[in-house]
Amino acid sequence: MDKYLEMIRIRFLMMLAYRTNYYTGILIYAINIAAYYFLWSAIYGGKQTMQGMSMEQMTTYVAISWMARAFYFNNIDREIAMEIREGNVATELIRPYSYLGMKTMQGLGEGIFRLLFLSLPGLLLVALFLPLRFPTDAHTWIFFILSIALSFVINSELNLLAGIVTFFTLNNEGLLRAKRFVIDLFSGLILPISFYPDWAQAVMKYFPFQGISYIPSMIVTESFQGQAIIDGLLFQFVWCALLIIPIRLLWRAAKKRLVVQGG
Amino acid sequence: MNAIEVENLRKEFKSYSSRSGLVGAFRDLFTRNYKIIRAVNDISFTVKQGEMVGYIGENGAGKSTTIKMLTGILTPTSGKVIVNGMNPHKEREAFVRTIGVVFGQRSQLWWDIAVQESFRLLKKVYRVSDKDYNEHMNHVIETLDIGPLLDKPVRKLSLGQRMRCELAAALIHNPPLLFLDEPTIGLDVLVKLKIRQFLKEINGKYNTTILLTTHDISDIEALCERVIMLDEGKIIYDGSLQKLKETWGEGKQIQFTFVSEMSLDTLKELTDGLQVTWKQGEQANVWTAHAPSALLPEVISRVVNRYSIQDLNINEISTEEIIRNIYEEGVVHG
C-alpha cells in the first residue's frame, strides 16, 4: 500500500513541477463554469423551472459538475497509449507492482491535486460572481463524496480499457478522442440526462456514462431524493464491478500480444 | 546455482508489410500481408550465479528481444525460461524483485521530478528497509559520484549523469541478477570507465550475475570472461572471450604504406608460398598483411627488399575485428 501512496505523492510533485499549467488550470475551470452559466441563463429566459430544476439548481449543477470533473477526469488512457507507443511500458513491467493499479493511483493523485488546488479555488472564484446554492445537509455531502469516488472508479476503468486497446492497435488517438467526447456528452456534464428525449434516456440506462457526472451532480443539487439517491449509487456501484471483467480479460490478452516498440 | 536457464527459446513476431501506392494503401485497409518474423530462434544457454556474460550481436540480431523475455516483459512463443528459479512471465511480480534492469535507451526515472524522489519511490516499491537502503545506497551513490545530482530533475541531467543515476536506481534493492541493455551507449570514456569499475566491484562484493548487451566491444573486454554471440536469432558462439581470441585472433597484422600504388596480384606473388592474406587499406598504396607471428620477419623482409615503403605498423588483431570477421563468415568454427 505504501508504494501506491508514494505514487500519489509523486504525482503531486509532477503536477507542481509546471506552475504555469497550474495557474491556467484554475482559470480554465472558472471560465468553463461561467460560460455554461451564461448559456443556461439564456436558455431559461424568464422561466422558473425546466425539467424540475430551477435556474439556481442548474447553476449549482454546472459548477459542481465541473468541480467533480476535475476529480474524476484523468489522462491515464493517453499515458498508457503513449507508454506503449514509445515502448516505455517495458520499464513499467519490470517493477513489482500492478501496472494498471499504479496507473489508477496516478490518476487518483492527479484527481486529488486538481480537486484541491484547481477546482476548489476555481469554484470560490466563481462563487463570488454567480448565485450558487450549496446543500447544508451533511447527508447530502456524504452521499456526494461516495458518489464522486465511484465516478472516479468508473471513469478510470473506462480509461484503462481505452488505454489497453492500444496494446492491440498501437495507435488509437481517434478512439481516445471519441471516448472523451462521448463521456462529456453522455455523462451529463454538458446537459443533464433528464433533458434528453425519453428514448435516449432509456438507452443510456444501459451505459455507465451517467454514473460519471450526472448522478453525483444530481445528488449534490438535491434533485435526487430518498430512493433515487440509493438507486443512483447502486447503479454506479454495479458498473464499477462490471467493468472489471473486460479489463481483466483484455489485459491478459494484451500482455500476450505485447510488442515493445523500438530497440 | 544457475541464474539463467534457457532452453529452445523462440520468439516470433507477426509483422505486416505495406503495399505500395495509393491503391495498395486502400487494399491495406481491408487485408494486410502478414509475415512471421522469427526474432529469436531456438536458443539455449545457462548462466551461473556470479558470472558476467557479454551478450553481443548486430542490430536486430535478437539481443533485446531475448533480454525482454528473460525479464518477463515479452512472452516467449515457445521454449523454456527459468531465471532465478522462476518463470519470469508467470510470476512477474515476485520475479522482478530479484532482478535489476538498465535499458540504455530508455529512462526509468521520472522525468520531471528530482532523482531522489524516484529513488524514494523505488525504495518503497521494492520494500527496502531504511537500514539496508542507507548501508547499500550510500555506498552506490558515493562510488558513482551522484550525490550532487540527487536534487536535480532528471530532465536537467546530462546523458552520463543520467546513466549513472539509472544504474543506481536499478540497484536499490541490491538484486542478485542485473540486466544491462547497452548501458554505455553514447557515454564518454571517463563515465564508461567509472561504470565498468563499479560493475566489477558489485560483482566481486555481492557475487551479482550480470548479463550485458553492448556494441562497445571494449566493455566486454573489460568486464566479461564469457561471450554469447547472436546472429539472426541464433547463437553462433558461446564460450570464453580468451578462446575466441586464440582461435580467431591468431597472428599479427602488418600494415604497409608503400610509396606507390600496389596491386593485389603483385603482393600475392611476392609472398607466394607463405600463409599470408592481403587486404587493401583506405588508399591504393596502403595494404595490410595478415600472417602467423612466426612468419613476421619473412614477410617484412620480402616486402622491404622489393619495394620502398613509407611506413610500417604491426598490430594485434582487435576483438572488434575478430567479431567482424565472424559476422562476415557467419559461423564460428571450433
Q: pLDDT tens digits, residue range B131-157?
A: 999 989 998 999 888 999 999 999 899
Confidence class of residue A208 from pLDDT cuts 50, 70 and 90?
A: very high
> Would you state the pLDDT for residue B334?
41
Give yes or no for a contact between B208 and B202, defined as CB atoms under 8 angstroms apart.
yes
CA dist A78 and A63 (Å) reads 26
> Cell 603483385 belongs to which residue?
B266
CA dist B91 and A141 (Å) reads 43
Least confident of A152-166, A189-203, B73-87, B269-283: B269-283
How large is the ipTM? 0.79
Which tens digits make up the pLDDT trace of B179-223? 998 888 878 888 889 889 999 999 999 999 999 998 888 888 889
CA dist A80 and A84 (Å) reads 6
Q: Provide residues of A within 8 Å CB-CB of chain B.
A: 2-3, 6-7, 10, 13-14, 17-18, 87-88, 90-91, 93-98, 255-256, 258-260, 262-263
Cβ of residue B245 closer than 8 Å to a chain A Cβ: no
With CB atoms and an 8 Å threshold, state whether B68 touches A260. yes
With CA atoms as reference, report the closest residue to A93 among B81, B3, B165, B89: B89
- The pTM of the full predicted model, rounded to 2 decimals, is 0.80
Give yes or no for a contact between A88 and A260, defined as CB atoms under 8 angstroms apart.
no
Q: Among A14, A21, A93, A94, pick the best mutation site for testing chain B contact (most B Cβ within 10 A).
A: A94
| Chain B CA closest to residue A102 | B125
Confidence class of residue A234 from pLDDT cuts 50, 70 and 90?
A: very high
CA dist B264 and B162 (Å) reads 50
Which tens digits make up the pLDDT trace of B3-52? 999 999 999 887 777 778 888 888 877 777 778 888 899 999 999 999 99
Q: Which residue has the higher pLDDT, A143 or A27?
A: A143
With CB atoms and an 8 Å threshold, state whether B73 touches A18. no
> Would you state the pLDDT for residue B21?
83
Which tens digits make up the pLDDT trace of A16-70? 877 777 778 778 888 888 888 889 889 888 888 888 888 888 888 888 888 888 8
Confidence class of residue A263 from pLDDT cuts 50, 70 and 90?
A: very low
The vertex-A171 CA angle with A166 and A174, nearest 5°, equals: 100
CA dist B4 and B86 (Å) reads 9
Closest chain B C-alpha to A164 CA, distance in angstroms: 16
Cβ-based contacts under 8 A for chains A and B? 74
> Would you state the pLDDT for residue B18?
77
With CB atoms and an 8 Å threshold, state whether A97 touches B93. yes
> Would you state the pLDDT for residue B330?
59
> Would you state the pLDDT for residue A154?
95
Cβ of residue B71 closer than 8 Å to a chain A Cβ: yes
The mean pLDDT of chain A is 87
Q: Which residue has the higher pLDDT, B320 or A93?
A: A93
Q: What is the DSSP secondary structure assignment for residue A137, as one 8-state letter?
A: -
Question: Residues 133..192 of B with a Cβ closer than 8 Å to A: which?
Answer: 153, 181
